[in-house]
Amino acid sequence: HQFGEEVMIHLEFLRLGGKTIPAGLQLVRFSTPERLQEIIEYHENNGMGIANPHTYILEDGGRKVIDPVQLNFKKQVDPYGLFNPGKMRAFEDIQV
């Protein structure tokens, strides 16, 4: 294992749609934000999807892209970007 005791693996089985499926996640012993980012990038570069709970930016979390319905809702209810500024990169891009 490349990360030794720095990264542990949690495995479990879930029932989804009547089927039993395996699921897992990496538990990281936090040291610095930079090291956490290195570990995330290593996994992403090796084909693993990361739902990063350590970010406030929506696109950097689980889905990596914003749902167009969500973006349109943001435009309607917050056209000036006053609520949660900087949290939705797609909204910031259309404001520039």
pLDDT at position 30: 93
CA nearest neighbour of 78 among 54, 53, 95: 95
63: tokens are: 């889905």
Q: pLDDT truncated to tens, each residue of the chain (96 aa)?
A: 689 999 999 999 999 999 999 988 889 999 999 999 999 899 889 998 888 877 888 887 776 778 889 899 999 999 998 998 988 888 887 765
74-to-32, 57, 61, 89 alpha-carbon distances in Å:
33, 14, 18, 12
pLDDT at position 55: 82
Asked if residue 61 lies in contact with residue 51, where contact means CB atoms within 8 angstroms, the answer is: yes
Q: Where are the domains of the chain?
A: 1-50, 51-96
Which DSSP letter does residue 53 get?
Answer: T
